[in-house]
A and B are shown apart, each in its own frame.
Chain A
Amino acid sequence: MAVPRVAIQTADFDVAAEVAALRDGDGGVGAIVCFTGTVRDRDGAQTGISALELEHYPGMTEAAIERMIDEAQQRFDIRGARVVHRVGPLRPLDQIVLVVVTSAHRGQAFQACEFLMDYLKTQAPFWKKETTPEGAQWVDARVADDEALRRWGLTARNAG
């Protein structure tokens, strides 16, 4: 049975278990690409980040990522994709996001994985608030993330 393509959860995830579930005995898979994003204790000039709180828009977040996976499946020759994103309180070193893509050969899986992350960064409704020695503050969106999406011929006006 195919696993759901999107999970938004407070719980941590097990990369090996996620990969195994996505492969699910598919003998046509010859490449698996995983991206795991983790929480840093620093961000540019900011150091000493002790906690991160992730907020999302229940319903819209899941739907937005489902559409991104549809788009990835149209653009790339991939066999499966799964996105897991954590919400709620997190700490440095915690895993925060997982994108797994399977394909027959590596090229398409590498590209689709990067496409999904670039898309997610600018189009999925999540917001990060970090706790620093100076207090809690919302994280600013990065123009570089909008530019990353432009490589795929898509225009993002999230940060800019």
Chain B
Amino acid sequence: MTMKVRVRYFASLREALGSQEDAEIVAGTTVGTLRDALIGRGGRHAEVLARGRAVRCSLNQAMCGDETVIAEGAEVAFFPPVTGG
């Protein structure tokens, strides 16, 4: 049983991967597992989302950690450390 989530990218990740795409995940998938699945696509995904790179994430527009479980219809985002102010 799979479900669809919206994945958004910002700043340098947006430049590499585009501003958004959809991903199919299974129930119980966490944000960290989704990141690994995206890395598994290879190419630029593997490069810019690579473990060891400073990538921050949010679920439904709130900062979150790798362990956060994704629900149906969620919006997940990956981006570099923030630099506002």
Q: Are B83 and A128 in contact (CB under 8 A)?
A: yes
Q: Mark A113-126, 1 if CB is under 8 A from B, else 0.
A: 00001001111111
How far does the Cβ of A84 sit from chain B's closest Cβ, in whole Å?
A: 12
Q: Does A54 contact B (CB under 8 A)?
A: yes
Q: Collect the chain A residues with CB atoms within 8 Å of residue B8's CB.
A: 57
Q: Are B11 and A141 in contact (CB under 8 A)?
A: no
Assembly CA distance A85 to B83 (angstroms): 12
Q: Collect the chain A residues with CB atoms within 8 Å of residue B62's CB.
A: 60, 63-64
Q: Are A127 and B80 in contact (CB under 8 A)?
A: yes
Taking a contact as CB atoms closer than 8 A, the residue among B56, B80, B84 that contacts A56 in the complex is: B84
Q: Collect the chain A residues with CB atoms within 8 Å of residue B79's CB.
A: 57, 125, 127
Q: Are B63 and A126 in contact (CB under 8 A)?
A: no
Q: Chain B interface: which size bin?
A: 10 to 19
Q: Mark A7-39, 1 if CB is under 8 A from B, else 0.
A: 000000000000000000000000000000100
Q: Are B80 and A141 in contact (CB under 8 A)?
A: yes
Assembly CA distance A37 to B85 (angstroms): 7
Partner-B contacts on A (CB < 8 A):
37, 54-57, 59-60, 63-64, 85, 96-97, 117, 120-129, 138-141, 145, 158-159
Apart from A63-B62, A123-B82, A138-B11, 13 more pairs, CB < 8 Å = A57-B10, A60-B58, A60-B61, A60-B62, A121-B85, A124-B84, A125-B58, A127-B79, A127-B80, A127-B83, A128-B83, A141-B54, A158-B56
Question: What are 17 of the A-B contact pairs (CB < 8 Å)?
Answer: A55-B10, A57-B79, A63-B62, A85-B85, A117-B85, A123-B63, A123-B82, A125-B58, A126-B82, A127-B11, A127-B84, A138-B83, A141-B80, A141-B81, A141-B83, A145-B85, A158-B81
